[in-house]
Structure 1
Amino acid sequence: MDDDGIETDAWAADQGPAADAPLPASAAWREGDHPGRRSFLRLGDLPLEADPMGVLPGTTLAYETWGELNAAGDNAIYVAHALTGDSHVWGPSEPGHHTGGWWNAMVGPGRPIDPARHFVVSANVIGGCQGSTGPASAHPVDGKPWGSRFPYVTMRDMVAAEIALADHLGVDRWRLITGPSMGGMRAIEWAVTVPERVGAIAPVGSTAATTADQIAWSTSQVAAISADPKFRGGDYYDAADGDGPHVGLGIARMIAHTTYRSEGELADRFGRSFQGDGDPIGKGGLFAVQSYLRHHGRKLARRFDANTYVRLAQAIQSHDVGRGRGGVETALARYTGPALVIAVDSDRLYPLKNSQLLDLGLSGSSGVKVVHSPVGHDGFLVESGQLNAFIAEFEAGL
């Protein structure tokens, strides 16, 4: 699986009519498309932390829910998605949803997060491309896509919208907020921003503040998209299929996917093997790992949006719970509730030491739970047995 939890093992089957079809300029959900399981909350003007615009006008948040809030109001769990995920945490691929639920292994009947017992909520982040207001959405003034005009958003802006959603749903306090990678960042931000509304957090493969190394990796991804001539500075939404910035988006995804897997896993899985019969040594063929990465670049272009990738990557770069709060240690001290910090021992994007520092700053944490996996960052999704056991034990003790 990759960072959004979508199964990736079928990479060699990237063939046939669907694979040969021109890639869309954008695969963003648009007004008028099938809503799928989404509901929509109209937020109006959303204050922005950093952008000179000050507010994001006409803001809408797309979300999904499963189960029911009980009479005591103490069974609500918020599941926050990673970079290229969305609100579709659980369920099949169906009209309105390009893929099945990105955390079907964690959420569902008999799973640690079970709609029979929990009121489960997830929203597509502000700046996203699957129903929430983002670069592909219609600008309230002229009705054209925001495109290059879309403002800079931060994790705090995203959480502010999620707080408004909690208010709308009548959730005064979450039993648990969890999520992997960027989702874990928002779980931490929630706990620091409104600790009284957070019963427990379980950030997975995440960090309290992005590091220079993590910013460097995402900077190269943003540069790849921006350098694509068909990106057109961010205004490409009227381009025909095949004429959008899919090359730049694909390269960004290839860079990112390399960080989601470990060196050892790539070596064991692919080594120096060829894809098919073509010899890559001067004869135009591909190494198997090259074919694998190209597949993921094309796959993302069929369900995502280049502008959204840029804005969310920048939001991840901005992530620092200590910004303006006296530093990370002081900020984390605001939250004294239970915390389950989970890391993957082979993660080279958000390494174990990030989780260890987070654990030290959270008084309610009882040590880092380590998922043992050769896979790397994606281990938190591939090794569902280990992860589910950690979450189930933690949730049962709340």
Structure 2
Amino acid sequence: MSTGAWLETHDPGERVFLSIGDLVLESGEVLPDVVIAYQSWGKINATQDNVILINHALTGFPDVPGWWPSMVGPGLPFDTDKYLVVCPNVIGGCQGSTGPSSLAPDGKRWGSRFPAINIRDMVAAEVAFTNAMGIKKYKLAVGPSLGGMRALEWAIQHPDRVGAICTIGSSAVATGDQIGTASIQIRAIKTDPHFNNGDYYEQEKGPEEGMGIARRIAHLTYRTEAEMDIRFGRQLQGDDTGRYAVESYLDHQAEKLWKRFDANTYIALTEAMNSHDVGRDRGGVAAALSTIKIPVIAVGIDTDRLFPVRLQAEIAELAPVAEPMVTITSPFGHDGFLVEVESVGEVIRQALKLSK
């Protein structure tokens, strides 16, 4: 297998597909015939003011209950008895929306021809999706990590289309440390002998080893040193490989991602995150955040070494109507937003109350 992407020959499952037409990117390039895959839960009300937008993270996908357990459903933080909850797959993604593994107009997969995209392009696609859905305004836009970056852009660019935002383990600008770590992951994929400059879809084998290395590196940044030491220490796995237990764990994470993700998407979305800067062409981060006029809740995780809490504190301090930063205590680092669902859920309920 050359990719773990969802392809048009696969069972769509619960995905719904919506065409948004051509998308003009910030670069000036035009991405033609863009399709957005999404899932939704609940119903829109008569006044159409109960819609929530969930922006997924780097390796997330539209099936929110599949990656964010105990968050979507009747009586849960995203209460489907009260709200219509929508989660589109980001452009450049690999779970149904137009991305490198999609078919281009010539009938071949985009592969290396897929244009570079950034966070603002992703939001432009989400706005077009929103218009095509007939949604006038979201009650809340919420997202972790990459999703939080997009939520911030919604607040800056489209304050009339969203009542409040909640960013979780995210930032207003990519840091040197994040870019450095991410660039190594990208290089690992590109130097895999099966990468073929991104045109590997017709091959029997894709860049599995390279993406596996990238995932192993990334996963360590998602968790904490303490967890790795307490959970695994120097234990051997106890099989005939001679691996340490932590190696086996990382091997498993790499294998899982390979089966459901695409290497070109990993690169495209990672490069978009590296380019993230709300202050670009807006006079800097402080000036950009000062223009936000809707409620903001910035959530940090005390052990997050990828998005340290100072990055969320910056958002809370510089956005004029932001609430005080919320810090969640977790031993699980950046992935704490996936695990500490009770604490995160309480913040979501608070954000929904603040929505204008």
The one-letter code of the counterpart of 1:275 is Q
Give secondary structure in 2 for the equivalent of 1:195: coil
Partner of 2:310: 353
Which of 181, 184, 190 is matched with 2:148 structurally? Answer: 184
Distance 1:288 1:384 in 2: 27
Displacement of 1:217 in angstroms is 0.9
Partner of 1:308 in structure 2?
A: 265
Q: Is the 8 A contact 2:191 2:210 kept in 1?
A: yes
Task: Choose from 69, 72, 77 the match for 1:104.
Answer: 69
How many angstroms apart in 2 are the aligned matches of 1:190 and 1:360? 18
The TM-score normalised by the length of structure 1 is 0.87
Partner of 1:268: 230
TM-score of the aligned structures, taking structure 2 as reference length: 0.97
Task: Tell whether the 8 Å contact from 2:165 to 2:351 is kept in structure 1 after alignment.
Answer: no
SS of the residue aligned with 1:56? strand
Q: What is aligned with 1:55? A: 30
Equivalent pairs, count? 355
Counterpart AA for 1:324 = D
**Deviation, structure 1 residue 88:** 1.1
* SS of equivalent residue, structure 1 residue 367: coil
Give 2:19's aligned amino acid.
R
Q: In the alignment, residue 50 of structure 2 is paired with which amino acid?
A: N
The residue type equivalent to 1:215 in the other structure is: I
The partner residue of 1:256 within 198, 218, 226 is 218
User: 8 Å contact 2:295–2:354 — kept in the other structure?
Assistant: no
Q: Which residue of 1 aligns with 2:159?
A: 195
Paired residues of 2:237 and 2:248 also in contact (CA < 8 A): yes
1:238 aligns to 2:238 (yes or no): no
| Cα contact 1:195–1:334 (8 A) shared by 2 | no
Does 2:63 match 1:88?
Answer: yes
SS at match of 1:210: coil
Cα drift, residue 55 of structure 1: 0.8
In the alignment, what sits opposite 2:98? 133
Partner of 1:67: 42
Q: Percent same amino acid at aligned positions?
A: 50
Number of the residue aligned with 1:317: 274
Alignment partner, residue 51 of structure 2: 76
Picking from 314, 327, 332, the partner of 1:370 is 327
- 2: CA distance between counterparts of 1:253 and 1:79? 23
Contact 1:208–1:354 at 8 Å: present in 2 too? yes
Q: Which moved more, 1:104-113 or 1:148-157?
A: 104-113
SS across alignment from 2:73: coil
Q: Secondary structure at the match of 1:85?
A: coil
For the 8 Å contact 2:152–2:172, the answer to whether it is kept is: yes
Q: Report the Cα offset of residue 397 of structure 1.
A: 4.4
Which of 282, 286, 290 is matched with 1:333 structurally?
Answer: 290
- What is the aligned-residue RMSD (CA, Å)? 1.2
Measure, in 2, the Cα distance between the counterparts of 1:273 and 1:69: 52
Q: Distance in 1 between matches of 2:117 and 2:255?
A: 26
1:116 is the counterpart of 2:73: no
Secondary structure of 1:229's aligned partner: coil
Q: Which residue of 2 aligns with 1:97?
A: none
Residue aligning to 2:23: 46
